[in-house]
Amino acid sequence: MAGLLILCGCWGMADYRAAIEGKVAINPDEYKVDPATYPRFQVKERFTPPPRSSLSDKEAFIAKQEASRQEASRRGWRPNPALGLQPLSDTSYWRQKDELIYRIMQERVQPVDILPDDVWQVTHRVGDRLLIYSEAYEERECRRVTEHAKRYGAAGDAGRMDRNGKCHWLLDLYHVFINQQGDVAGGWKLLRNPERVVFSSDRRVLLEPDGAAEGWGPQPLFVKTQ
């Protein structure tokens, strides 16, 4: 037990995941650069980015939900009418419920649009790739995540509104991997917000894209502005 406690004091969850996958999680601060030494980037037109993580196919998700209910039923579980749940024989009700859950999951992982007014600065360099970040974009995404969290009870995901009506304190800072020509080179990378996660061990990540790289449209998406 003592040995376990010692490890817990040094490792964050990212370290454990990396160890299992045979990879090494690092503190992204080691790759920080001075934004003033790099050009800034913007998009020419409003763009809807792909989700920050991929979901299973809708029908596959619904089929898995149904199979899970049937297995629970075989073990004696029955829907509680006091909670407004209908019998398992009411397949229309349960499909609508599954579709609602899937839609909520989609909303949770779909970031807001990138606008032409968003200015993206280079914050980190990993080999030949750059990580770019926009304060304006982060603020809008903070609002979206916070509203979604309040609507569906995920308080831990919510940011905070300051006295000026600006949203901050979101758990993650939304970055995008690009190359120096402005082509998206991997896609989303979410880094833990130092406001929320104090210890560097809990901010350690695998410096590779989150989710799939598809869905970013024709390249280059980002254009240098200076």
User: pLDDT (tens digit, 9 = 90+) per residue, 38-83?
Assistant: 999 999 999 999 999 888 899 999 999 999 999 999 999 999 999 9
pLDDT digits (tens, 9 = 90+) for 99-136: 999 999 999 999 999 999 999 999 999 999 999 999 99
Q: What angle do CA 58, 59, 64 make, to 5 degrees?
A: 100
Q: How confident is the model at residue 173 (pLDDT cuts 50, 70, 90)?
A: very high
pLDDT digits (tens, 9 = 90+) for 214-224: 999 999 999 99
pLDDT at 10 over 70: no
Separation between Cα atoms, residue 5 and residue 22, nearest integer Å: 22
Separation between Cα atoms, residue 161 and residue 115, nearest integer Å: 22
pLDDT digits (tens, 9 = 90+) for 131-171: 999 999 999 999 999 999 999 988 888 999 999 999 999 99
Strand ranges for the chain from DSSP E: 41-43, 121-126, 129-133, 160-161, 167-168, 172-178, 184-192, 222-224
Residues in contact with 50: Cβ distance below 8 Å, sequence separation at least 6, in sequence order: 187, 188, 211, 212, 214, 215, 216
Q: How confident is the model at residue 9 (pLDDT cuts 50, 70, 90)?
A: very low
pLDDT of residue 199: 84
Q: What is the DSSP letter of 47?
A: B
Residue that has been written with the tokens 């050009």 in this structure: 39
Which of 197, 179, 222 minimizes the C-alpha distance to 29? 197
Bigger pLDDT: 2 vs 191: 191
pLDDT of residue 31: 95
Sign of CA dihedral 118, 121, 125, 130: positive
pLDDT of residue 13: 52
Separation between Cα atoms, residue 213 and residue 217, nearest integer Å: 10
